């Protein structure tokens, strides 16, 4: 058989590639795994109980309705309405098989092969992969070439305006960012929405990590605009917030017209988001608010500790920004590729991270550290192991 060049021409998941080095480790120190942002802690007891109940119910294994369980749509719309101080309805919500699927089906409903979508650098690697697989050209929105702090990694609406052409269909933002952890200010998000509307484009905002910000203020004010459904597509995940990544449940929040078209795509790839996963999300929204807040607070405490140990630039690794689950750092080895640095970190120093080349089209010595799953004692150990590399 012959394989398609659409997949042959793309690199596999960088997380899988990084994990492949684990088979070659010979040391006996415990691994410090900073490769993936999936929660390592169990879900809330209320959610676990509901999952067990659904598994034993007569309809627990049946398809959910294609538009999603009404209870989930209404509960999530109510939570978003409270958090964003806006009026949202259940008809604005479509559950999906995780936020990755939400991005794929949303962009496929908005762009055809040959079209372009503006993607800020550094991008989330699956976004870049999917656009290329779908025949859509990513137009890269470059950041400051030599960032010194979070502000230099906030995408610029003015630079984005220079990339808009006749084939442009959408602009993508991720906030807080994966891989940088940068939270885009509400005013900047509003400027992007105004730019998109003025050019008849969609603004896709991936808000997977919205509950891991350090502010209780609304992430943006886009939903307060009565005409938001003409422009805004907001993507969400329950995986991180509820610690159920394996259950694969997220959501598209958009106007009913776009959701109707997206449902055609979901019907072809999954029929509907799994019923048991949607039930888990309902339980989390209704009964686990305090538990969710405590997990977010704990991860923000980990952020503070991570920033403290990295402030001394152990081993010459320079932390540029951190937030949500991520730290975005520059390694000091100008004579080594980032892939080689990642290899040495794993094999010689028992630290697993992801190369920045997964998130950028060139090698600029970046590394993504996912610090949120480290224990308190692990942070000093991380600094010590990074320092080893420069010894």
Q: Are residues 167 and 214 located together in one domain of the fold?
A: yes
Q: Are residues 244 and 115 located together in one domain of the fold?
A: yes
Compute the average pLDDT of residues 312-329. Answer: 96
Distance CA 10, CA 47 (A): 37
Query: CATH number of the domain that 70 lies in?
Result: 3.40.640.10
Distance CA 292, CA 274 (A): 22
Q: Are residues 254 and 174 located together in one domain of the fold?
A: yes
Pairing of strands 354-355, 318-323: unpaired
Domain that holds residue 364: 5-42+291-390
Strand-by-strand arrangement of the 137-141 sheet: 93-96, 250-253, 232-237, 202-206, 168-174, 116-120, 137-141
Q: What is the pLDDT of residue 122?
A: 97
Q: What is the pLDDT of residue 21?
A: 82
Q: Are residues 55 and 135 located together in one domain of the fold?
A: yes
Q: What is the pLDDT of residue 27?
A: 78
Q: What is the pLDDT of residue 391?
A: 75
Compute the average pLDDT of residues 15-26. Answer: 81
Q: Are residues 226 and 365 located together in one domain of the fold?
A: no
Q: Report residue 12's pLDDT band, with 50, 70 and 90 as the boundaries.
A: confident
pLDDT tens digits for range 351-372: 999 999 999 999 999 999 999 8
**What value does the CA radius of gyration of the chain take, rounded to a whole number of Å?**
21
Quick check: 324 and 213 in contact, CB under 8 A?
A: yes
- Residue 352 belongs to what H/E stretch? strand 351-352
Quick check: 220 and 189 in contact, CB under 8 A?
A: yes
Q: Report residue 23's pLDDT band, with 50, 70 and 90 as the boundaries.
A: confident
Q: What is the pLDDT of residue 8?
A: 87
Phi, psi values for residue 35, rounded to 5°: -95, -35
pLDDT tens digits for range 100-109: 999 999 999 9
pLDDT tens digits for range 137-162: 999 999 988 898 889 999 999 999 99
pLDDT tens digits for range 62-81: 999 999 999 999 999 999 99
Compute the average pLDDT of residues 112-137. Answer: 96
DSSP conformational letter for 60: T
Q: Report residue 333's pLDDT band, with 50, 70 and 90 as the boundaries.
A: very high
Query: CATH number of the domain that 30 lies in?
Result: 3.90.1150.10
Q: What angle do CA 371, 377, 382 make, to 5 degrees?
A: 50
Quick check: 117 and 138 in contact, CB under 8 A?
A: yes
Compute the average pLDDT of residues 206-210. Answer: 96
Q: Are residues 125 and 202 located together in one domain of the fold?
A: yes
Q: Is the pLDDT confidence value at 11 over 90?
A: no
Closest CA to 380 of 308, 322, 295: 308
Q: Are residues 241 and 359 located together in one domain of the fold?
A: no
Q: What is the pLDDT of residue 338?
A: 95
Distance CA 273, CA 282 (A): 13
Q: What is the pLDDT of residue 37?
A: 83
Q: What is the DSSP string of 102-131?
A: HHHHHHHHH--TT-EEEEESSPPHHHHHHH
Percent of the chain with pLDDT over 90: 87
Q: Report residue 193's pLDDT band, with 50, 70 and 90 as the boundaries.
A: very high
Q: Is the pLDDT confidence value at 292 over 90?
A: yes
Q: Are residues 141 and 183 located together in one domain of the fold?
A: yes
Number of structural domains in the chain: 2
Q: Are residues 207 and 107 located together in one domain of the fold?
A: yes
Q: What is the pLDDT of residue 102?
A: 98
Q: Are residues 24 and 134 located together in one domain of the fold?
A: no
Tell me the pTM.
Answer: 0.95
Q: Is the pLDDT confidence value at 15 over 80?
A: no
């Amino acid at each position: 058989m012959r394989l398609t060049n659409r997949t042959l021409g793309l690199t596999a998941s960088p997380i899988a590639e990084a994990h492949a080095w684990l088979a070659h480790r010979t040391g006996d120190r415990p691994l410090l795994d900073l490769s993936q942002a999936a929660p390592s802690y169990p879900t809330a007891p209320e959610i676990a109980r509901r999952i067990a109940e659904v598994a034993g119910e007569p309809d627990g294994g049946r398809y959910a309705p294609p538009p999603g369980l009404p209870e989930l749509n209404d509960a999530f719309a109510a939570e978003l309405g409270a958090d964003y101080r806006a009026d949202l309805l259940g008809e604005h919500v479509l559950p999906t098989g995780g936020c990755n699927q939400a991005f794929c089906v949303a962009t496929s409903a908005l762009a055809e092969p040959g079209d372009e979508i503006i993607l800020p650098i550094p991008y989330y690697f699956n976004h870049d992969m999917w656009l290329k697989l779908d025949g859509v050209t990513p137009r890269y929105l470059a950041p400051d070439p030599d960032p010194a702090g979070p502000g230099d990694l906030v995408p610029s609406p003015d630079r984005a305006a220079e990339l808009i052409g006749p084939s442009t269909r959408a602009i993508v933002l991720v906030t807080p960012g994966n891989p940088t952890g940068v939270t885009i200010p509400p005013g900047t998000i509003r400027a992007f929405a105004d730019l998109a509307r003025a050019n008849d484009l969609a603004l896709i905002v991936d808000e997977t990590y919205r509950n891991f910000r350090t502010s209780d203020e609304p992430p943006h004010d886009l939903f307060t605009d009565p005409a938001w459904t003409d422009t805004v597509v907001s993507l969400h995940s329950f995986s991180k917030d509820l610690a159920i990544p394996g259950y694969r449940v997220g959501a598209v929040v958009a106007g009913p017209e776009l959701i109707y078209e997206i449902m055609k795509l979901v019907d072809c790839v999954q029929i509907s988001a799994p019923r048991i996963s949607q039930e888990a999300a309902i339980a989390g929204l209704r009964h686990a608010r305090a538990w969710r807040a405590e997990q977010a607070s704990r991860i923000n405490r980990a952020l503070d500790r991570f920033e403290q140990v990295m402030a001394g630039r152990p081993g010459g690794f320079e932390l540029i920004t951190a937030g949500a689950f991520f730290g975005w750092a520059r390694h000091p080895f100008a004579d080594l590729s980032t892939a080689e640095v990642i290899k040495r970190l794993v094999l010689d120093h028992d630290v697993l991270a992801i190369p920045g080349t997964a998130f950028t089209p060139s090698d600029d010595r970046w590394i993504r550290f996912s610090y949120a799953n480290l224990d308190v004692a692990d942070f000093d150990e991380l600094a010590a192991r990074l320092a080893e590399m420069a010894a």
